[in-house]
Amino acid sequence: MQSIFSSPNPVLFGSGTSGQTGEKLRELGCTKVLVVFDKGIKAAGIADRILDIIEASGIETVCFDSVLADPPDWSVEEAGALGIREGVDGVVGLGGGSSLDTAKAAKLLLTNPPPISQYFGREGVKTVESKPLVLIPTTAGTGSETTPGGVITDTKNNIKTNIAGTGCKVDLGIVDPELTLKLPPSITASTGMDALCHAVESYTSQRANSFCELTARQGIKLVGKYLEVAYRDGSNLEAREGMMLAATLGGISMSGPLCHLAHDIGKVLGAKFHIPHGIGCAFCLPQVLEVIAPAVPDKVRYVAECFGAGIPDNAGAEEIGRSACEAIKELMGRIELPNLRSFGVTRQELLAVVPEGVKAQQDGLVKLFGQGTSPVPATIELVSEIISRAYDEN
């Protein structure tokens, strides 16, 4: 058994830690930082709170306040250009995955020439490290603050792809559960499912290793314990802390083993239909658990049991798979996760993503549909069957 224990970035975790943002930026030598966020974070008052904290440490701020979901290449290039124009010596990302990944790209572009597309999907590409990057998640989902790369939409090919490498290295994640206290229930639900997918998929990845298994199991257990509680009572700090830790552990567990079927399908849906990332990824999770059960029955059993499934000791892989599928479907019902029909996507449009994804993969634009990570062979037929069943059943 071989495994890569990937290096999570340093993370400062705990309620109230975002109050140290200015101090930490000063320790990193910053005097003027680009702060990257979106309109929602501005409206929630979180951006102003963090800007005040940074400025109170005598650090100037420049705002890029127009992050877009599934950040398009041209948008992250605008963020990078603003940073260069303003001569910043640091970047702060504040928000969900889109804001954190835009901040990663902006840091990269401070010292590596545009276009961003030349750094897509190629972990081997050499980029120069630039100024410090601090990431502050405001959802318990993305885990981007712990991972070595970012997800950007390649608008030429209409696909979500990756940037990675030293050029977008995260110097510090500041993970403050208090920032999630006012998240609306629907965002708590969808981002929480993203965290769950990270943990479940890396745990069951072909590349899973002992370190990933340890962090993923704890992440899955925490989602089982706290997602519904946080969904029903957003002000429950214990549940918010539990979910934030689950998201952090999910990010750590996927760094290396990566995700597979559910996530890769979710990414295609994100690029094509702008389905929120967590919903897109969760969409097929019940069926994915069912089809992978014969390959990793004990792991699927663990997941199912964390969500309350009672499975007899002598159950076979099929029964375990069915129980896991049902347990996750029930969870998705309880947290009222929208299905794809509610986004107006037809079955036909949905199934059309499969050949498009396959082509993108063949063109080397992305690793898709669990190639090299899914515990069962990720054939076109299997992916189509999973999507089709998820559309009908979930």
Phi, psi of 136 (to 5 degrees): -125, 100
Q: How far does CA 282 lie from the centroid of its chain?
A: 12
What are φ and ψ of residue 90, in 5° steps? Answer: -175, 160
Q: Where are the alpha helices (DSSP H) in 283-346?
A: 285-292, 297-306, 317-334
In angstroms, the CA 282 to CA 272 distance is: 16
Q: Which one of residues 61, 112, 248, 373 is an interface residue with its own copies (CB under 8 A)?
A: 248
For residues 167 and 107, what is the distance between their CA atoms, to the nearest angstrom? 7
Provide, rounded to whole angstroms, the least separation between the CB of residue 336 and its own copies.
29
Task: Tell me whether residue 26 or residue 334 sits nearer to its own copies (CB atom).
Answer: 26
| Residue 14 in contact with its own copies, rule: CB under 8 A | yes
Calculate the alpha carbon distances from 107 to 132, 168, 260 in Å. Answer: 8, 6, 28
Q: Does residue 9 belong to the site contacting its own copies (CB under 8 A)?
A: yes
Q: Is 245 in the site for its own copies (CB under 8 A)?
A: yes
Kindly state whether residue 3 participates in binding its own copies, applying the rule CB under 8 A. yes
CB 318 within 8 A of CB 326: no
In angstroms, give the least distance from the CB of 112 to its own copies.
18
The residue to which tokens 């605008």 are assigned: 78
CB of 132 to its own copies, least distance (A): 13
Distance of CA 385 to the CA centre of its chain: 25
Task: From 44, 52, 46, 17, select the one nearest 134 (Cα to Cα).
Answer: 17
Closer of 84 and 237 to its own copies (Cβ) = 237
Residue 147 found at the interface with its own copies (CB under 8 A): no
Q: Give me the least distance between CB of 2 and its own copies, in Å please.
A: 4
156-175 residues near its own copies, rule: CB under 8 A: 173
8 counts as binding its own copies under rule CB under 8 A? yes
Tell me: does residue 59 bind its own copies (CB under 8 A): no
User: What is the distance between the alpha carbons of residues 356 and 378, in angstroms, rounded to a whole number?
Assistant: 15
Kindly tell me which residue out of 118, 123, 207, 215 binds its own copies, with binding defined by CB under 8 A. 215
# chain residues binding its own copies, by CB under 8 A: 30
Under rule CB under 8 A, residue 13 binds its own copies? yes
Q: How far apart are CA 153 and CA 73, in angstroms?
A: 6
CB 367 within 8 A of CB 361: yes
Kindly tell me which of 3 and 186 has the beta carbon lying closer to its own copies.
3
Structure tokens belonging to residue 360: 């993108």
| CA 381 – CA 367 distance, rounded (Å) | 17
Min dist. Cβ of residue 48 to its own copies (A): 23
Exactly one of 111, 186, 218, 388 binds its own copies (CB under 8 A); that residue is: 218
Q: How far apart are CA 336 and CA 161, in angstroms?
A: 29
Q: Which one, 179 or 315, has the nearer CB to its own copies?
A: 179
HSE at residue 205, side-chain half, CA atoms within 13 A, is: 34
| Residue 181 binds its own copies, judged by CB under 8 A | no
Applying CB under 8 A, does 127 fall inside the site for its own copies?
no
CB 210 to its own copies: min, Å: 6
Between 168 and 275, name the residue whose CB sits nearer to its own copies: 168
- Helix residue spans in 87-160 (DSSP H): 97-111
Considering only the stretches 130-138, 179-187, 214-222, 383-391, report the one whose residues sit in contact with its own copies under the rule CB under 8 A.
Answer: 214-222
- The residue within the footprint of its own copies, chosen from 203, 211, 283, 369 (CB under 8 A), is 211
Footprint of its own copies on this chain (CB under 8 A)?
A: 1-17, 146, 173, 209-211, 214-215, 218, 241, 245, 248-249, 252
